[in-house]
Amino acid sequence: MIPQSFRDILSNSENTGLFQTLALVIFLLFFIGIVIYVFSRPKKYYREEENAPLDDDQPFNSNH
């Protein structure tokens, strides 16, 4: 039998635990990757970015 939709694949109760485990593993890998990326950036990058909203180098363009 060929599944007609993604819902048919997920409704198969024998693979539900596998799909939940895969979703959790993918999420954790993505989350850990983001954390590693953030902590691997040099502190200089964040020092420049933390003051970006306070910089007045570029004038504020308003239509008022």
Which tens digit of pLDDT belongs to each residue from 22-63? Answer: 999 999 999 999 999 999 988 887 787 787 777 666 655 656
pLDDT given for residue 33 in this prediction:
97
Classify residue 58: in a domain, yes or no: no
Q: How far apart, in whole angstroms, are the C-alpha atoms of residue 16 and residue 31?
A: 23
Q: How many domains does the chain have?
A: 1
Question: Where do we find the tokens 């308003």?
Answer: 62
Classify residue 12: in a domain, yes or no: no
Classify residue 30: in a domain, yes or no: yes
Classify residue 7: in a domain, yes or no: no
Classify residue 9: in a domain, yes or no: no
Structural domain range at position 23: 17-49
CA nearest neighbour of 20 among 30, 10, 29: 10
Classify residue 60: in a domain, yes or no: no
Q: How far apart, in whole angstroms, are the C-alpha atoms of residue 60 and residue 49?
A: 18
